[in-house]
Amino acid sequence: MAKINQNYMQLQGSYLFSEVARRRNKFISENPNASIISLGIGDVTRPLPEAVLSGMHAAVDELADSVSFKGYGPEQGYEFLIAQIIGNDYNTRGISLETDEVFVSDGSKCDVANIQEIFSLDTVIAVTDPVYPVYVDSNVMAGRSGAYDKTANRYENIVYLPCNAENNFIPSLPDKKVDLIYLCYPNNPTGMTLSKEELKKWVDFAKANKCIILYDSAYEAYIQEDDVPRSIYEIEGAKDVAIEFRSYSKTAGFTGVRCAYTVVPKGVKAYDEDGNSVTVRDLWNRRQTTKFNGCSYITQKGAAAIYTEAGKEQIRSLVDYYMTNAKIIREGVKSLGFEVYGGVNAPYIWLKTPNGLGSWQFFDKLLSEANIVGTPGVGFGQSGEGYLRLTAFGSRENTETAVERLTKISL
């Protein structure tokens, strides 16, 4: 008899996006003439940059010739891409990395979900709340979460670090023992960042407590302010305690193409049952070489093209496009009297719902009065209750229309 992994029964389902879709569909069926604008999705809408397309086209041609044909590539990624990553994304900021500390993959979602499997099952994880749900659910599947408490909207064995307007979205250091700490900056869903000083507190804490920080930097390309850290390795000592995840999805429109990378410095150690230190990089390498067969050559050639002069220029203008949308939304809603966060160094705008409305109540109001779909903050965790996320990934036209429509809702 095939038995299931019972941990899966603890998952709370993809309640958030299915419930958003259900309410949206119900509204459309009752109001077939309404033109809905979605500022809810976290997917990009602009086409791939020219440089990326040329890089990929050239790679396709190489595969057409038996001399330049490529079969399986290195599981860790091709050196031509890793060299560009280290040179452009790290060396330029004074960070040195070795080639075998970078692992190219087909997306950060898999990397942030898979990384937990190299740690023991009694590992205590800490997440900021609200949170990108993958960190939590991947640990639920592994059996680390304990039972789900419906009233609290939380799992009993996970340490939640609330981030809200009261603490200016700066999480406090845990007041109990934790082992793995997930940090995501610029943050999805709040769009907020951490200063170097704040990030240093986490690095120091991790060092003092033998923790590892899993630093998700999927939105790094959206940082506009010079003093915001772009990599956790800008903080002294981080190469001993932090693993960093970066993705080309939002940087260069790769959500459908799929390419990302994870940095696991050799200084990051975890401990075996006898207390001996083990190099985490080696375990990740073993995991990847066993379960992953590399990101496609065509994709990696496309990713490498981002680092050409033309590629850099084109992704700058792509990011500028979305960040102009973010500014339009942010300033638009601010001028209407909303309390608004994020949207300065990230493509996400995090609104405080007006008049004490719950996240779902405000979602319904926005849908019925302005025909706009947002994402209810409570769907990202209990501390998101009373907030709503809007994204800047739409077209300029839709973004402007949405902001105009917002002026019509009754507050």
Of the candidate residues 247, 262, 288, 345, the single one contacting ligand PLP (CB under 6 A): 247
Output the smallest distance, CB 109 to ligand PLP, in A: 3
Output the smallest distance, CB 41 to ligand PLP, in A: 10
Fill in the per-residue mask, 255 to 294: x = in contact with ligand PLP (CB under 6 A), - = not in contact: x----x----------------------------------
Is residue 132 involved in binding ligand PLP (CB under 6 A)?
yes
The region of 18-26, 88-96, 247-255, 293-301 touching ligand PLP under the rule CB under 6 A is: 247-255
User: Please, which residue, 75 or 220, has the CB nearer to ligand PLP?
Assistant: 220
Report d(CA 319, CA 323) in Å as an integer: 6
Output the smallest distance, CB 182 to ligand PLP, in A: 10
Fill in the per-residue mask, 92 to 121: x = in contact with ligand PLP (CB under 6 A), - = not in contact: ---------------xxx--x---------
Beta pairing class for 125-129 and 387-391: unpaired
Is residue 45 involved in binding ligand PLP (CB under 6 A)?
no
Report d(CA 89, CA 245) in Å as an integer: 12
Report d(CA 318, CA 407) in Å as an integer: 28
Cβ-based neighbours of 286, under 8 Å, separated by 6 or more: none
DSSP string, 312-352: HHHHHHHHHHHHHHHHHHHHHHHHTT--EEE-SSSSEEEEE
Of the candidate residues 131, 180, 192, 218, the single one contacting ligand PLP (CB under 6 A): 218
Is residue 186 involved in binding ligand PLP (CB under 6 A)?
no
Strand partners, 182: 127, 214
User: Please, which residue, 194 or 403, has the CB nearer to ligand PLP?
Assistant: 194
Cβ-based neighbours of 360, under 8 Å, separated by 6 or more: 376, 378
The secondary structure of residue 156, as a DSSP letter, is T
Output the smallest distance, CB 348 to ligand PLP, in A: 9
Tokens of 219: 């939105």
Touching ligand PLP, residues 309-328 (CB under 6 A) = none
Which amino acid appears at position 207 of this protein? K
- Cα Rg for the chain, rounded, in angstroms? 22
Tokens of 339: 């309390």
Output the smallest distance, CB 87 to ligand PLP, in A: 21
Is residue 42 involved in binding ligand PLP (CB under 6 A)?
yes
Number of residues forming the site for ligand PLP (CB under 6 A)? 14
User: Please, which residue, 184 or 366, has the CB nearer to ligand PLP?
Assistant: 184
**Phi, then psi, of 151 in degrees rounded to 5:** -65, -45
Q: Is 61 helix (H, G, I), strand (E, B) or coil?
A: helix
Is residue 249 involved in binding ligand PLP (CB under 6 A)?
yes
Chain residues that interact with ligand PLP, rule: CB under 6 A: 42, 107-109, 112, 132, 184, 188, 216, 218, 247, 249, 255, 260
